[in-house]
Amino acid sequence: MKNTVNRFLTIVMAALAIAGTQSCMRYEKKANTSTSGTMTMVCDNTFENIMNQEVDVFEYQYPDAHVLVRYASQSEAIDSLMSLNTKTIVIARDLTKDEMKYLKSKRSFVRSSKIAVDAVAFIVNPANDVNKLMLKELSQILSGETTEWNEVMPSKLGKIRVVLDNKGSSLAAYLRDSLLNGGKFAENVYDAGSIPGVFEAVEKDKNAIGVLGVSWITSDMDSADMAPDQLAKSVLSDEPVQGATLSRRVKVLPICRNNEVTAYRPYQENIFNGTYPLFRQIYMITTAHSGTTGGGFYSFVTGDIGQKIIMKTGIMPARMRIQVVQLGE
């Protein structure tokens, strides 16, 4: 009798195990959709605060979906995509023709979309008297031709200390290409190790001038610290999203083109109309198919809600009409 009971229990437990396995298989199959499941991606670390907010709202709206982001240099992101280790990346340029050709030979499906335009901002300590800089003055500072603040303007400040996140970052590459014609940085250009580190260095050092993406210095950086439900409700409503203003904790310098008098700060209005001269494109590239978690997140970021989130960060969404308003200094 005891053996019979044991055999019965064994059969029941085996049946339950099989049922459970089948249930899990059904769940896994169901989970791999555009609104559920798990995906991984690599994002240029200069866009970390933007992508964190995109992920928070996406996961709030779709609780069964999970996006795991690795933040790395732009070159690492591209290498990861080309080596087929990841299907989705966010970087500061589109793929070249050769990169696209190679990727299509390995993956039959490739999508690339410009998702935003990011202004490159120069910030100084509020105690610094500089009121604006011309592009050629920035070039001279970065190249080491100008090393003292009194060479820029009458000033009691000392040696200029330029602070970047990392000399190997996409932001640093942009500066070399756009302001140094591919040349090298001077010895007075330092690594802070991170974008927040740039901000902190400028707050502490009157002689420092920092370079970072404008989304890191907007008043709406507060949204980066919001609980996901608060952030989601602010962009999922039908209310129009207001553009961000610039932080007052540091001085954000107006920049003017060479031989021009009027300088402009990196407000969204000035990015939109092209009067602010330093900006770069942000692209999202994926080989994930529609109907998968990766495809769903790609559609989310490039769609209305994802673009509203970008609007809140202070940069220009690529696929969203904006209402241009006059912003005070």
d(CA 58, CA 53): 9
User: Tokens in use for 247?
Assistant: 């932080």
Q: Are 298 and 266 within one domain? A: no
- Residue 324 resides in a domain: no
Q: What is the DSSP string of 97-120?
A: HHHHHHHHHH-S--EEEEEEEEEE
pLDDT tens-digit readout, 1-47: 444 444 444 444 444 444 444 444 433 444 689 999 999 999 999 99
User: Which residues partner with 39 through β-bridges?
Assistant: 67
- Residue 142 resides in a domain: yes
Tally of domains in the chain: 2
Q: Are 122 and 246 within one domain? A: yes
pLDDT tens-digit readout, 169-199: 999 999 999 999 999 999 999 999 988 899 8
The residue range of the domain holding 164 is 118-273
Where helices occur in the chain by DSSP H, the ranges are 2-31, 48-61, 74-82, 97-106, 135-143, 170-179, 195-204, 228-236, 268-273, 293-302, 304-313
Q: Residue written as tokens 């920092």?
A: 210
Q: Are 128 and 265 within one domain? A: yes
Note if the pTM is more than 0.85.
no
Q: Are 197 and 81 within one domain? A: no
Which contacts qualify for 200-205: CB closer than 8 Å, 24 or more apart?
A: 201/161, 201/163, 202/123, 202/124, 202/125, 202/163, 202/250, 203/125, 203/249, 203/250, 204/125, 205/125, 205/161
3-state secondary structure of 170: helix
d(CA 210, CA 252): 10
Q: Are 170 and 200 within one domain? A: yes
> Tens-digit pLDDT profile for the chain (329 aa)?
444 444 444 444 444 444 444 444 433 444 689 999 999 999 999 999 899 999 999 999 999 999 999 999 999 999 999 999 999 999 999 999 999 999 999 987 899 999 999 999 999 999 999 999 999 999 999 999 999 999 998 888 999 999 999 999 999 999 999 999 999 999 999 999 988 899 899 999 999 999 999 888 874 445 556 677 777 777 777 665 555 566 677 899 999 999 899 999 999 889 999 999 999 999 999 999 999 999 999 999 999 999 999 988 888 999 865 554 443 44
